[in-house]
């Protein structure tokens, strides 16, 4: 996939590759405090070498068809965040989506729009039946994205994640392919509300 338009504001979605390691590091550095509050990405990408290694791991996932990562650029060409499939299991028809966003990108619906693009691709092109969104219970902005994507809250995994020495409850949200298609039809008819903001999750 090449760059895909995310709307009239000129934002674009594109595959993040190891050659973008410097851009990813700059993005994380600008939003390190807010991105790292709930997810481990800020701790995984700390210098150019670790940024390149992180993106190389996703290049390997893409080659094995077990994951993908995409960056979000503003009209000015700045990488401000991204969306990803942390896991993809084509045999089972499941995938786990996630996101991150630096403060400069918040409040524009970028993550919601980007997630819709990759979920559409997963459902229609790859035959994924269930897309999950796993998020810390305190990460309200990311939960709001799951809600705007039409996902349902399946439950809470109490104390399931250890982040920076603190136990987190994780909420599992999901959308099934038939629900996704019905929601997309509603958006096309103008009956569904569009997204407003996004955050790391």
- Sketch the domain layout of the chain as residue ranges: 4-188
- Helix H or strand E encompassing 153: strand 152-163
Q: Does domain 4-188 have CATH number 3.30.420.40?
A: no
- Return the structure tokens found at 64: 């094995």
Which residue do the tokens 């481990």 mark? 40
- Return the structure tokens found at 20: 């973008």
Q: Determine whether 127 is exposed, middle or buried from the number of CB atoms within 10 Å of its CB (0-12, 13-18, 19+).
A: exposed
**44 neighbors 56 (Cβ within 8 angstroms):** no
Q: Determine whether 188 is exposed, middle or buried from the number of CB atoms within 10 Å of its CB (0-12, 13-18, 19+).
A: exposed
User: pLDDT tens track of the chain, all 201 residues?
Assistant: 578 999 888 999 999 999 999 999 999 999 999 999 999 999 999 999 999 999 999 999 999 999 999 999 999 999 999 999 999 999 999 999 999 999 999 988 999 999 999 999 999 999 999 999 999 999 999 999 999 999 999 999 999 999 999 999 999 999 999 999 998 877 766 544 444 333 455
């Amino acid at each position: 996939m090449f760059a895909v338009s995310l709307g009239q504001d000129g934002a674009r979605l594109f595959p993040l590759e190891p050659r973008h390691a410097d851009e990813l590091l700059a993005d994380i550095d600008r939003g390190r405090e807010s991105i790292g509050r709930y997810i481990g990405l800020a701790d995984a990408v700390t210098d150019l070498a670790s940024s390149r290694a992180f993106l190389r791991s996703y290049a390997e996932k893409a080659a094995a068809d077990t994951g993908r990562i995409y960056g979000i650029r503003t009209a000015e060409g700045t990488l401000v965040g991204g969306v990803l499939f942390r896991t993809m299991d084509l045999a089972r028809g499941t995938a786990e989506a996630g996101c991150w966003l630096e403060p400069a990108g918040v409040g524009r619906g970028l993550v919601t729009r980007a997630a819709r693009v990759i979920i559409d691709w997963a459902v229609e092109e790859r035959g994924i039946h269930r897309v999950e969104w796993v998020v810390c219970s305190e990460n309200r902005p990311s939960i709001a994205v799951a809600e705007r994507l039409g996902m349902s809250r399946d439950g809470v995994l109490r104390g399931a994640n250890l982040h920076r020495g603190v136990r987190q409850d994780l909420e599992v949200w999901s959308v099934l392919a038939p629900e996704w298609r019905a929601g997309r039809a509603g958006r096309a008819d103008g009956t569904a509300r569009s997204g407003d903001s996004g955050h790391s999750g």
